[in-house]
A = this chain, B = another copy of it.
Amino acid sequence: MISKLFAKNKTNLLYGALLGVLVFLLNWLELRFVIFEHSFEIYAGVIAIIFTCLGIWLAMKLTKPKIETVVVEKHIYPDPGADFVLNEKELASLGMSKRELEVLQLMAQGLSNEEIGSRLFVSLNTIKTHSSKIFEKMDVQRRTQAIEKAKRLGLIP
């Protein structure tokens, strides 16, 4: 309770205490130097110096800090392939069949026609037919071109 009040009015209390100290100081100075002529000027000077310091201290304490906003650019690297969505419009416009897309995907994984045939349980000749149709529909000459184009068109990840 008391500590809370102290915390809240910390600055005020400090200021009060400082004033008390000053009053004492002034009295002491008065007693000490009042006998001298021109002691008043000294007294005024001391007051001036002390209160100048007080003003400086006050300004230090009370001025609000300027807020500087620093914008840090954080690059987000999306997980490659995790955001793949098949471009079905392109697929339809090319007239690609399911089986052909399947072959195309395995092609892109670097499989040979032979391997693709084994994977899909069909003969090498069948895969050759498929790949020929794929190249025809995609208007390319080689499987590497088909892969490159398919990636560009969003047919494969």
Contact = CB atoms under 8 A, between A and B. Distances in A.
A72 interface: yes
Interface residues of A, number: 52
A67 interface: yes
Interface in A117-146: 140-146
A111 to B, nearest CB: 8
Contact of A74 (B49, B68, B72): B72
Interface in A84-112: 107-112
Contacts of A141: 112
Contact of A55 (B52, B69, B73): B52
B66 A69 contact: no
Nearest to A67: B68
Given A59-B55, A67-B66, A68-B65, A112 B142 contact: yes
A75 interface: yes
A44 to B, nearest CB: 6
Contacts of A107: 144
A51 interface: yes
15 contacts: A26-B44, A44-B44, A54-B55, A55-B57, A55-B58, A60-B63, A64-B66, A67-B67, A68-B68, A69-B72, A71-B74, A110-B142, A110-B146, A110-B148, A112-B142
A147 interface: yes
Interface in A33-78: 40, 43-44, 47-60, 63-78
A111 B146 CA distance: 11
